[in-house]
Structure 1
């Protein structure tokens, strides 16, 4: 991890999560902004006059999931990685983790950072939020890229498969929905749980080193992080309902790029969202599992750059 940014590049006094280390990325600055009564943590850098690209991560990660891709994107783009509510160094409210409520908070945060229109890029649970945000705030988006995510009511299957060859990818959705039991089983064992997800769902076995696993586990264990992580799954039915209500009025009109991987959870993201999107294209990243930005960051940067360039010219 790089911790070489100067003291001027951080705002530790604003850090709402006491005891959780704040890691720096060279060339980027930590920011905290008010988002409808809670503080969201953002990491901002890159080309200040370039097109804005906003990044959202998923479970069990934080903005740090994008650390390998951010320098490449920063060469041409104004890059902002945001910790969702409950992630990393953002506040962990006690309720309202349905993706439309979270999307509203993310949009408020982006507006507070003086970005009026942007490209939205999101993975896993971040893609849940991004889909809902695109339905609510299309006027603020140039386009959206969704990476390997089963989105509630859209690409998330209604039933969990029992075939062992497939069940390992989705079994946790049902487990996280059970009241109280996950907390009882996982409290104090957050590192073991995070370690399983990161190692099993990544294709290269050495994708995550011990320090990175420690980082994500600490974020889940700190001050309501486990409760917040589970809350996204427990509010998934409400997220699905609100997605369906919104889709009854209109489909996605912004360009959508579905980014899949050779060994991920959703074989064809573009096909899975195309019934609800007027302009959906896709790309498959080879030699990658679920954690595509960690496993193949250069390929992700290339795919996003090509998508943005194509849509800007078009």
Structure 2
């Protein structure tokens, strides 16, 4: 999985200068709006036409929207606030749950004299945008969400098990002390972990955002956005009872959320269009501004009635057994044991990347797999043959259970297990939430190790 973008100055072109810091158009007007929820929200706006609100995410400020704001301002009124606690907005002690922040955004919209708007969002911004659309559904014409999960909405529980998301739980006075004066080091880790291009964000952009987050109280406020996730999850489960009906565009970076973004939104909305930005990681405005802006502009201009667009998901697939293309060779592959002779086929997703995946393993007769585990939580079904599976730190025949075709079993994250086939080959189908991995309890039994 991966996190957000934005703040002030200069002018941004799609190609972007390597030395230019992120900024909104210089013609945008700035003001501060007092939210009834106890925050002062800094907002800039410009352009003319239908209103579009842009909500940024973490590790950035509203300036990250420079490429999109510049393009949209030709035909739309663009409203770009800094979220509570970030950039030039105030940093109150509380109110970082996304339901409260939705009220902040509503105050911005109405104070500026607007009512119904479209909303585009990224990273933590999509959590605020979803809460806004759920609280004020008649005030949102179209909703764009980009590359982030929603707390409490499937597959949230699987996503947060990803070790790369340790920063979701990193907060408190000691965490603040650890990063004080080292904000750039902390943020570099987030930018680097979720980019599809090691050069993005560039140096000027990183220095700009690091300076913003080094302001007094800024890291505390940033951490508070994550600290509110448990409350957000409770609120979202209530919001989920009433599905969003406005058109929703779910965009994922190919090397980040990808098609999973649409999977998330189909759990809360009835009219979801799906888009994946090729080659991009999480930082879409930094890595692929042209492609991302084009997707959003096309979506905002599309006036197709919702009933005409609620069709099959773009990633639907129907495959018969004769169409499976099993790998040839060693059997090695992410999410597998790597035992020689095992053949695999990836049916959906990619076990190397964040998101849902399904693989099928064809295991020869008389194969033994030593005790090992995987970092992701997985479920499996036996398709053909009788599979013998056990749980434990060492292979123990006494703990094996015979699982005939149709049997179901689980491979909990980091839970050691072992298996074998006997006089017949076996096919098993496994589904997990990537990225996956395989770790053998006893390294000497790892078939992938060098002699």
Give the TM-score, by structure 2 length. 0.60
- Structure 1: distance between partners of 2:270 and 2:166: 32
Paired position in structure 2 for 1:258:
250
Paired position in structure 2 for 1:303:
295
SS of corresponding position for 1:153:
coil
SS of corresponding position for 1:216:
helix
How do residues 112-131 of structure 1 correspond to structure 2 at under 5 angstroms? 112-131=111-130
Seen in structure 2, the aligned counterparts of structure 1 residues 23 and 302 have a Cα distance that, compared at 3 Å, is closer
Say if 2:50 and 2:77, in contact at 8 Å, map to a contact too.
yes
Paired position in structure 2 for 1:158:
157
SS of corresponding position for 2:238:
helix
Higher mean displacement: 95-104 or 271-280: 271-280
- Structure 2: distance between partners of 1:52 and 1:153: 30
1:273 aligns with 2:265: yes
Paired position in structure 1 for 2:163:
167
SS of corresponding position for 1:68:
helix
- Structure 1: distance between partners of 2:71 and 2:22: 22
The number of residue pairs the alignment matches comes to 289
In the TM superposition, what is the alpha-carbon distance from 1:146 to its structure 2 partner?
Answer: 0.5
Which residue among 229, 232, 235 is the counterpart of 2:228? 235
RMSD of aligned Cα (Å): 2.2
In the TM superposition, what is the alpha-carbon distance from 1:246 to its structure 2 partner?
Answer: 2.4
In the TM superposition, what is the alpha-carbon distance from 1:75 to its structure 2 partner?
Answer: 1.8
SS of corresponding position for 1:276:
coil
In the TM superposition, what is the alpha-carbon distance from 1:198 to its structure 2 partner?
Answer: 2.0
Say if 1:86 and 1:92, in contact at 8 Å, map to a contact too.
yes
Say if 2:85 and 2:221, in contact at 8 Å, map to a contact too.
yes
Say if 1:255 and 1:311, in contact at 8 Å, map to a contact too.
no
Higher CA-based Rg = 2
SS of corresponding position for 2:153:
coil
> Where do 5+ consecutive residues of structure 2 fail to align?
1-7, 12-20, 307-451
Paired position in structure 2 for 1:33:
33
Say if 2:96 and 2:225, in contact at 8 Å, map to a contact too.
yes
In the TM superposition, what is the alpha-carbon distance from 1:199 to its structure 2 partner?
Answer: 3.1
- Structure 1: distance between partners of 2:303 and 2:55: 21
- Structure 1: distance between partners of 2:70 and 2:247: 24
1:292 aligns with 2:312: no
- Structure 2: distance between partners of 1:186 and 1:22: 23
Structure with greater proportional strand content: 2
Give the TM-score, by structure 1 length. 0.85
Higher mean displacement: 21-30 or 72-81: 21-30
